[in-house]
Amino acid sequence: MNLVNFRDLGGITSAENKRIKPKRLLRSGEIVQPNEEAIARLVEHDLKTIVDFRSEHETANAPTHSFTDVQYINYDIMADSKENTASKETWLKMLDPDNVDSIMKGLYRDFAISDAARNGYTKFIRDCINSNEGAILFHCAAGKDRTGFAAAILMKLLGVGDEDIQQDYLKTNEERKEANEHILDGYKQKGLSASQLVALATLYSVREEYLQAAFEAIDAEYGSFEEYVRDGLLISSSDIQTLREMYLE
């Protein structure tokens, strides 16, 4: 397979008019059975670390490709999520156009405040701080939700403005277009109804209000993003300064 929803955050500008260094912070969908072109692309990005946000069930069914001399780390971001997308009941609800939006917003609220998510994202930020050379790639399954929120908080820590964060987040809809069309066509052949296909299309896309739901949950729980970073993620101002020195130019 080719890389799906892959991009280098390098070049995105911070509020201090500095740019994220290229070939340091990469995001994508799952890296499962990549073709030679995909492998070569990651090698040329000097890949050193892969952080996988998927569950044990997901990683067992679709193991991440093993690269030579690349460290692999796994954090189950949704381990204690209220919305268990692995359950048949939740999956069927998500295929209802009347329910999919509220379920997705619930997932994003869990990304912000659940213990497993906070612990996973804290460790991810620590991994970035400890990644002194080469690229660190972070991904989940589609590379849009767990990964999208990780990219958002990481870029906010680097001083990137909200508009640029949203632009990168919404870029998923463009980057996943071909893969999503293939998925929808497959489910259409399996007999999903028109309304279920509409819900599925929503499920495989991102919307501004989903990411906003996470930040609204942060404000409600902690008062501000700064307090969330300090008290929820246990990331200090010194840690933030280190991140900026490492990843901005």
Q: What is the pLDDT of residue 83?
A: 58
pTM of the predicted model as reported, rounded to 2 decimal places: 0.94
For the chain, what are the domain ranges? 7-247
pLDDT digits (tens, 9 = 90+) for 203-230: 999 999 999 999 999 999 999 999 999 9
pLDDT of residue 95: 84
Question: What are the DSSP E strand ranges found in the chain?
Answer: 7-8, 25-28, 47-52, 71-74, 135-139
Q: What is the predicted pLDDT for the residue at 215?
A: 98
Tens of pLDDT, residues 52-107: 999 999 999 999 999 999 999 999 999 987 655 545 456 667 788 888 999 999 99
Interval 139-164: pLDDT, tens: 999 999 999 999 999 999 999 999 99
92 vs 61: CA distance, rounded Å: 21
Lateral strand order in the sheet of 71-74: 7-8, 25-28, 135-139, 47-52, 71-74
Domain 7-247: state its class. Answer: alpha beta
Residue 191 has pLDDT above 80, yes or no: yes
- Using a pLDDT cut of 70, give the percent of the chain over it: 95
